[in-house]
Structure 1
Amino acid sequence: MKRLLLALLCLSQIAAPSFAQESFRVELGRDGETIGDMRPVFLKFESRPLPAISPAEVARRYQRLFDSSDEPEVRIDALNRLTNIRDRSGQDVGFSPAEEERVYREVIDSYESILSRGSFSGRLDELLYQMAKAHALTGQADQSIERLKQLVGLYPKSELVPEARFRIAESAFSAGDYSEAESVYLTLIDSVERGALKTKAGYMLGWSQFKQGPSAWERSAKTFLSVLDDFLPTPQSIREIDRSSVDTIDDTLRVLALMSARKDGPESLMAWLDDEPERHWAYLLFDRLGDYYAIRGEFDASVQANRAFVRYSPNHPMNPLFMAQIAEVWERAGDRYRVREARANYVAMFESKYADLSGSDQQRWRQFSRGLADFYYEQGAAASADGAPEKSRQAFSTAAEYYEALANRSDTYGELLRLAGDARLQSGEYAEALSDFQKAAYEDATYQEADDAGWAAVVLLREGVDGKSQAPEFRPDLAALSLESSRFEEHFPEDSRLPGLTADLASRWYAAAGNAERALEYGEKTVVNGRASPSERYAGWLTIAKVRQQQGEYELAERSWNHVLDLLSENKINGQEAEAGASVRQQLATAIYRQGEQAAANGSVASAVDHFKRVGAALPNSEIAIRGRYDAANTLLKASELTAAITELRLFRQDFPEHPLAEEVSAKLVHAYVASDRPASAALELLDAAEEAENSWPLKLRAAALFHQAGDTANRNGVYREYLAAHTSADTADQHIQMQTMRHRLLENDTNSLKLQQDLVDRELASQWHSEDTLAWASRSSLALGARAAASFAGIALTHPLPESLDRKQRALALARQRFVDAEKLGGEAVRSESLYRRAELYRVLARDLMASSVPADLNELETMQYQMLLEEEAFPFEEKAIRLHSENHQRVTSRGYDAWIGKSLEVLAELNPGRYDRSVRWMTWTLETNDDAG
């Protein structure tokens, strides 16, 4: 566009010459309504430099000479010199324009007169030139051209001929005779050396050709290109253009742009330019073409013109401006989408060439990048709000790319990377977001919000660990989070968010990773940080307490739990319900309880008991407190501190009668009583326990055993009687023996208990199970029963009617005899001597009682004698049986040896059979030995 040239001109410093120049300017007209009406802007001519004298002073003198002289030659000469001085110096000296027209009207006749006389002393070529000028100033254009043609024809070698030809060609151009003008311009160009006139002639030649229509535009284009070559011979010349040439150059560019636009656009320009090596000013042509299209509203064509130059000269330093102008064209067109597209193309094209761009181009690159980044960021946010996640993700990702590329080329490196990280985060590109946050935080020492960028990195990693922000390439673990946190702590040690971070890490290392050491490390960092809030210190102490508890450091755990409780009681901890205190007290109680367990394991009884009993202070009436009380008693019991143990156990049962552990207290007390040699107390405890037991007999029987051990026969026998009353028969051998033992022990205290004796004998006889003791006890009881029956038998008197009394006596004898037989059956050889003796005595007593029975009163003497003889006959068999049983008993001496019951049988035998047994005999016992010869 035109501003490209104007901008370059502003950079040049054009110094005014140190001497005045003589010049005059001829206006050639302005653009018309159509292409055919177009005119070049103007031409400016300059002559030789003047001497170093004041032009105004010289002009004043020549002006005075002109006014004072009456000689035509003098006046004309003075007028010529005045005109030359003004033209060369460029100053407004001499006559004013109105005066000059008057003066030239006055001297035209003088010119004609001098010329007709041929008597002019000066140069006639100059005279013809001045006459042409005079005709031109007085509006006599044809006469002026005629004089100039005369000058060219008469004086072809004159130095005024080139200018004369130029004015002739100009006249033809003004008259619309463009072919004639072209011909004259060509002649002029061929006849002069390089210079301003030749350049201007070339410029007008181009216009002459242009005015002849499209058929001559190829010639016109070549001519105009040559004109530009003359004006801009070197790259530096663009910056050193004389201000008087600006409009000419601009007009040349304008007409070339117009012709190319009317033909094939940029392709025409490239075709015209390709006949020569690449021109350094070619970009001005494409710029003017693009500007032409844009002014006309042909925005696509304007864009193509700018792109065409970039293709034509891909490495040209002006390419950034052309790419930027594309965005400006679309902005002028109101097409925002294409504006962004053009800016994006600009950014993409020069990203790798950024270092080679000029300062202004770099600034534009940064401006475009930031605008695009912000736009796509806003697009991402809007798409997210509209529920278009994929569109949002793409927009945020694009925004991040622009921010990242811009950051490395901006003074706001940290800020831009922070924005890039945020965009990456919202696009789901977590690994890239993390990198951006880290760079923003730790690579830009001037970034004021570096701490927030670092914190964003920490939060992103934490969400990655939690699974909230995870992708296939982004699955951080707790170690990565800790590493990033340490980095944050190192750079921002005073940040108020650190305590919360370390508290969170402590909890994570404990709960998720099970790493007690790391959890303890972060927990301690939290509680010693003076900036930690109550909630953060609460979290830190909570983790420390858990770690200490897990590691078995229960004393330290207790201290930590107390800190947690203090924080709960003194502050409102966020996120903690009212029940949190109860949970913490439970843990505190557990820590104290575990200290008790450790002390007990180490044999520190007193310390263990103290810890167990302290649990209740931490959590009154809790299950663990109750168990602590119980374990305190147990610890004393195991340590054989029985008195203290008994006291604690009884207090426990008194304080917690309904607790399940109270059911075990009785057994513990029994053990303690027994171990402390208090069996009666143990037995009473068992009886109390038996009242609550579903099956009470095992407890009662053990109590009976303890009563027996204590010598408390009354209580013991009470249990025995109750048991025997409840159990009619034994189901096992042990139970039979147990019940027989009970009966035996009861008989020891109640020897006359007929029922017990009968039960003892009957159960033993009926049972399939026996022991030596039960057999012996039953045998003795059977003997006792037999003796009791024998006494009853002996007490039955034989009276009349004898059959009746004798029948009763015989039944009594049978009962007694059976008891003795049972005793022998049960006791065997151990009681056989006694049994034989007692059975024999039954028969002897019966025989005796028969003999001693009374004789019926109604019998006479003979009958009485007969009756007595009959009694003797009846009694004799019994007496014989008695003698036989006693003899059998006597015979046992050889096999069993002598005993008291055998001795008693001998005494009876001596009485019944004195001849045989009534002798002085000393009974001895001996044991036959294998080598004894006795036979």
Structure 2
Amino acid sequence: MNPVRILPLTLCLFAGLSHGQESFRVELGKDGETIADMRPVFLEFESRPLPAISPAEVARRYQHLFSTTDEPAVRVDALNRLTNIRDRSGEDIGFTPAQEAAVYRQAIESYESILQSGAFGGRLDELLYQMAKAHAFTGQNQASVKRLEQLVGLYPDSPLVPEARFRIAESAFAAGNYVEAEAGYRALVDGSASAGELENKARYMLGWSLFKQGPHAWERAGRRFVAVLDAALPAGDSLDAVAESSVDSIDDTLRVLALIASRRKGAETLLEWLEPEPMRSWTPLVFDRLADLYAVQGDTEASVATNRAFVAWFPSHPLRAGFMAQVVDVWKRAGNPVKARAAMADYVALFDNANDYAGLKSDYRQKWAKFSRFLADYHYAEGAADGGSSHSHYRAAAEYYEGLARRSAGADSNDGVNGSAGELFRLAGDAWLQAKGYVSALANFRLAAYEVPGYGQGADSGWAAVALLRSGVKGELAASGFAPGLEELSAEADRFTAQYGSDARAPGLLADLASRWLETGRNDDLARKYAALAVTHELATPETRYAGWVVTARVRQNTAEYGLAERAWREALRLASGDSASRAMGQDAPGLRQQLATTIYRQGEQAAAEGNVNVAVAHFQRIETALPGSEIAIKGRFDAANTLLRASHWQPAINELNRFRVDYPGHALAADISEKLVLAYTSSDQPARAAGELLNMAGRHSQEASSLLADAWVYRLQAAELFHVAGHTRQRNALYNDYLARKPAARDADEHITLQTMRQRLIETQSGPMQRRAELVTAELESHWHSEQTLRWSAQAALTLGAGAAAEFAGIELGEPLETSLERKQVAMNKAQAFFRNAESLGGSAVLPETLFRRAELHRIMARDLMASAAPEELNELEQMQYRMLLEEEAYPFEERAIALHSQNHERISAGGFNAWIEKSLEVLAELYPGRYRRPVRWMSVVVEEESDDA
């Protein structure tokens, strides 16, 4: 695996070693890990600057000196100087490796010679140290250790003792004597004397000595290694200043700590060793090394647990992103994509907070973006794969796209966002849409469309927002609780057209909005506004313009602006009838013509209501040009006539009504023409024509059903009245006679008066007068209702009938046989008397003088005729005399009755005044009773003078 390296532990990051030699110093790594691979470094007895000649030339001269001199001290000094020159110059000069073995063997001889001679002028501890190194370099380890032990034993206070102890411990370690090596290293680490740089090396090797002793010493070994790292990396900035010579030892320390921890309790063991200061400069390194070790060993769960343990224990550490990312890598390498995705999700969630995200370095931001996009795409694909049955995948995809989009908005290229903010917002919107999170989908579509400048798919995103709201307004998403209002859709459309007005979908949207506002009936102004925008849009198709004109027409119709509505309907009809019209538009054409006709009709109604009769009639009549033969055109013709009728333009109205009846004889409206014509004829003083229309109406009613006969007679009687007004007596009387022949019975006072009027008019025109007089009298006598007029008519009829009966009575002669003729005459008299009494009961005092006169005359005539009747021829004179006496006895009562009635009439002068019938009675009385009544009479008028004011 490629673990995330928090500290790059490579040699290239450490500072180079100094080229100058100051005394003798041991450098582990250059000198070797063990005594066996160390190269002796000789003591420097003095330090001088390099001569101004080539180091190679100087080295050549010291090589020559070493090879030619026999003096041990000179030879040792020459070798020391060669080493100094090589170290300070940094050049590979001097003896070759093959030559060095022979040279150091000679050096050992020189050291031995100096020791034996006792003539050495320097410190013996230094000489012993040089000899130990020389033995070690030539492979004589035991001899080297022996010399070092001599040095420690003879010169315990020598500054070379720490080095000697270290080399002794090294030898023991190399020989596998780990307890002995532990003691040697511990003396250096825990000793009172300072061991300098060797103390760190000793501390490091002490840990290894404990580790090599087995599990029982691992706890102590771990803590020793912790101390090594604390010393090597005491602070955070020390990670950037590690000496090259320490790189390997630090790396090995981390490795062995991880190894020990892996064999115990893993990350828990590390934490125990780190207490009470768990967060140290190198803490991330050791956790990383442990996680790597587990991964290499194939223990994926332990590796993941270690990475997660670091994040859990150090939640604010800036390097937690690396550990979380490493969890993803571990699961990927383990071939477990499910857990790898879960780890990605954890990584993304860990830095969801803006402050946490802001603290990430660029490469970790890139990982965050990469993981977010991968998870978003994955969940979206899964959502599509399961057919949308579960919305959880889409919802997860939406959240990842949305989070990624918000981070990418305004982010620089180093953030590693895969895709523009606009595209991500659009994808988030689409995912929310699939998850039925409509509010969130709408918000993301809006962000993509209007908040990300330069996004190429902005118009599509804006349209997605519009489409979503439109579905919501239709109620298609109400089950999910998403039910926006038309106002919200309008606002969205306004925003879309303001930003993307040149989009080809804009005019269709405007037309759709216009239709929707029209359907609500709540805001005709908005409907008209959107319709106008749709019609005038430069990209509007014929279908769009057509829809806009239709809405405009309907709005104008709703607001009673019928002239403007007509214009809009004509535009819509023009488009629907054009070559570019769609099939649906073509199918709408009949309906458009109907609407056009309706708006013309409404204009006619408006003009009529305003009293513009001629304008109204013109509108009504031109409907036929828009929709010939249509029902509304027929109604327009009819209403044109009605408008003229209401305006009292009688003759034009009559002309229009007659034309209508001729053109549409079978139309239902034609049934009312006659009534209207009756009104027009009547109002224009043409009663005879009106009567003719009423007779037509009566005829139609008679044909329709027998139950309507009564209605037919209503019309006939109205016609009769109009004939009466027109003076067409013959036609009137014919109708009266037909009606009276039906023997109608009055049901109320009005009907009684009507029937009596008919009879009186027939009597007045000598059309069956006697029969009608009898009917008149009988009806009046039998009726519960009377009027002064009918009573007068009836009384007069009774008088006339009585007069006729009296004339008949007077014409009957009394002859043989008397009984028979007398009986006939008596019947006639009774008949006349009945008429006169009826007249009295009907006419009252107004006719009483006449009836009294006529009744008296009946008695007088009866008395006269009796007296004048001839006696039977077979009677003798005496019998004839007796017969006449009998006749006188019979006639006398009649004469007395006559005198009484005439006298009664005479007596009415004081009550009713003098009149012709009283005068006639007086004339008769003068004849019958001359002593009393035959004398001159002078009538005087009485003048009453007014009293003056002075009276």
1:680 paired to 2:688: yes
CA distance in 2, matches of 1:219, 1:914: 188
Alignment of 1:124-163 (within 5 A): 140-143=140-143, 145-146=145-146
CA distance in 2, matches of 1:545, 1:41: 108
Moved more, 795-804 or 769-778: 795-804
Between 837-846 and 75-84, the greater mean CA deviation after superposition = 75-84
Q: 1:820: Cα distance to partner?
A: 3.9
Partners of 1:191 and 1:516 in 2: how far apart? 101
The Cα of 1:54 is off from its aligned counterpart by: 4.4
Query: What are the equivalent positions in structure 2 for 1:761-780 lying under 5 Å apart?
Result: 761-780=777-796
Q: 1 CA distance for matches of 2:901 and 2:158?
A: 204
* 2:537 equivalent to 1:524: no
Q: Displacement of 1:583 after TM fit? A: 4.9
TM-aligned CA deviation for residue 607 of structure 1: 1.1
Task: Name whichever of 413-422 and 293-302 sits farther off.
Answer: 413-422
Q: Deviations over 1:763-818 (max 9, x none)?
A: 33333433333333333333333443344444445554444444434433443444
Structure 2 partner of 1:306? 307
* SS of structure 1 residue aligned to 2:5: helix
Letter in 1 for 2:537: N
Deviation per residue, 1:317-371 (Å, 9 max, x gap): 3333233323333333344444344444434444332222222233233333434
- Return the letter of the residue paired with 2:213: Q
- What residue is the counterpart of 2:736 in the other structure? 720
Match of 1:592 in 2: 600
Aligned mates of 2:270, 2:745 — CA distance in 1: 136
- 1:595-629 deviation per Cα after TM superposition (whole angstroms, max 9, x unaligned): 22222222211112222333444445555444433
1:346 aligns with 2:362: no
TM-superposed deviation, 1:477 = 3.9
Match of 2:326 in 1: 325
Match of 2:828 in 1: 812
Q: Deviations over 1:368-392 (max 9, x none)?
A: 3434444444555556x36345x45
CA distance in structure 2 between the aligned counterparts of 1:277 and 1:839, rounded to whole angstroms: 156
Deviates more, 1:850-859 or 1:330-339: 850-859
Q: Partner of 2:571 in structure 1?
A: 563
Give the whole-Å Cα distance in 1 for the aligned partners of 2:11 and 2:361: 17
Counterpart contact for 1:40–1:204, Cα < 8 Å: no
SS in 1 for 2:8: helix
1:82-113 deviation digits (Å, cap 9, x = unpaired)? 677667766554555455557777x5996699
Does the C-alpha gap of structure 1 residues 16 and 702 become closer, same or farther in structure 2, counting only changes over 3 Å? same
Give 2:698's aligned residue.
690
Cα distance, 1:520 vs. partner?
2.9
Secondary structure of residue in 2 paired with 1:696: helix
Partner-residue secondary structure (3-state), 2:645: helix
Partner residue, 1:415: 423
Question: Deviation at 1:210?
Answer: 2.8
Tell me which amino acid in the other structure corresponds to 2:714. P
How many angstroms does 1:393 deviate by? 7.5
1:411-456 deviations in Å (ceiling 9; x for gaps) = 5434334444444445555444444444443333243333344444
Deviations for 1:696-743, whole angstroms, at most 9, x for unmatched residues? 232222221111111110111011101111125433333233222212
What displacement does 1:641 show? Answer: 0.8
Report the counterpart of residue 172 of structure 2 in structure 1: 172
3-state SS, counterpart of residue 785 of structure 1: helix
Matched with 2:648 is 640
Correspondence for 1:649 among 638, 657, 681: 657
| Matches of 1:594 and 1:297, distance apart in 2 | 90
CA drift of 1:904 comes to 4.8
Deviates more, 1:496-505 or 1:306-315: 306-315
2:719 to 678, 703, 718: 703
CA distance in 1, matches of 2:751, 2:350: 109
Equivalent pair of 2:32/2:38 in contact (CA under 8 Å):
no
Asked whether the equivalents of residues 503 and 539 of structure 1 are also in contact (C-alpha less than 8 Å), the reply is yes
Counterpart of 2:561? 553
Are 1:422 and 1:433, in contact at CA under 8 Å, matched by a contact in 2? yes
Aligned match for 1:540, one of 542, 545, 548: 548
Change in CA separation of 1:866 and 1:796 when aligned onto 2, cut-off 3 Å: same
Structure 1 segments unaligned to the other structure (5+ residues): 31-38
Measured in 2, the distance between the counterparts of 1:170 and 1:10 equals 24
CA distance in 2, matches of 1:810, 1:485: 112
Q: Distance in 2 between matches of 1:151 and 1:832?
A: 191
Alpha-carbon distance between aligned partners in 1 of 2:150 and 2:94, rounded to the nearest angstrom: 28
Alignment correspondent of 2:459: 451
Q: Does 1:254 align with 2:270?
A: no
Q: Aligned partners of 1:472 and 1:193: how far apart in 2?
A: 79
Which position in structure 1 is the counterpart of 2:766? 750
Aligned to 2:364: 361
Distance in 2 (alpha carbons) for counterparts of 1:632 and 1:655: 14
Native 8 Å contact 2:72 2:111 kept in 1: no
Asked whether the 8 Å contact 1:824–1:831 carries over to 2, the reply is: yes
Q: What is the one-letter code of the residue matched to 2:179?
A: S
SS of 1:714's partner is helix
**CA drift at 1:257:** 1.9
What TM-score comes out, normalization by structure 2 length? 0.82
Q: CA RMSD in A?
A: 4.8
Q: Which amino acid aligns with 1:171?
A: S
Residue 667 in 1 paired to residue 675 in 2?
Answer: yes
Contact 1:27/1:42 (CA < 8 Å) preserved in 2? no
Residue 303 of structure 1 aligns to a residue in which SS?
helix
Give the letter for the 2:612 counterpart.
Answer: S
What stretches of structure 2 of length at least 5 have no aligned partner?
413-419, 702-707, 947-951
Asked if structure 2 preserves the Cα contact closer than 8 Å seen for 1:898 and 1:925, the reply is no
Q: Is the 8 A contact 2:763 2:769 kept in 1?
A: yes
The one-letter code of the counterpart of 1:556 is L
Write the deviation string for residues 2-36 of structure 1: whole angstroms up to 9, x where unpaired. 76266364884856878899999989999xxxxxx
* Cα 1:909–1:763 shift into 2, 3 Å: same
Aligned length: 919
Paired position in structure 2 for 1:207: 208
Change (3 A) 1:70 1:750: same
**1:242 to 1:924, Cα distance in 2 relative to 1, 3 A:** same
Provide the residue aligned with 2:798 in structure 1. 782
Q: Summarize the Cα distance change of 1:918–1:256 in structure 2 as closer, same or farther, 3 Å threshold.
A: closer
Residue of structure 1 equivalent to 2:389:
387
Quickly say closer, same or farther: Cα 1:820–1:929, change in 2 above 3 A. farther
Cα displacement (A) at 1:638: 1.9
On the 8 A contact 2:805/2:831 being kept in 1, the answer is: yes
Contact 1:598-1:608 at 8 Å conserved across structures: yes
- Of 583, 594, 609, the residue aligned with 1:601 is 609
Q: Work out whether residues 534 and 571 of structure 1, in 8 Å CA contact, stay in contact via their aligned partners in 2.
A: no
Between the aligned partners of 2:755 and 2:541, the Cα distance in structure 1 is 77
Equivalence for 1:493: 501
Asked whether the equivalents of residues 399 and 428 of structure 2 are also in contact (C-alpha less than 8 Å), the reply is no
Partners of 1:11 and 1:239 within 8 A in 2: no
Moved more, 191-200 or 740-749: 191-200
Query: d(CA) in 2 for partners of 1:440 and 1:282?
Result: 44
Distance 1:671 1:798 in 2: 63
Letter in 2 for 1:172: A
Is the counterpart of residue 285 in structure 1 residue 282 in structure 2? no
Q: Is the 8 A contact 1:346 1:365 kept in 2?
A: yes
The more displaced of 131-140 and 758-767 is: 131-140
- Residues 613, 194 of structure 1: CA spacing in aligned structure 2 closer, same or farther, 3 A cutoff? farther
After superposing the two structures, state which structure 1 stretch, 215-224 or 9-18, moved more.
9-18
Range with bigger deviation, 535-544 or 18-27 = 18-27
TM-score (norm 1): 0.83
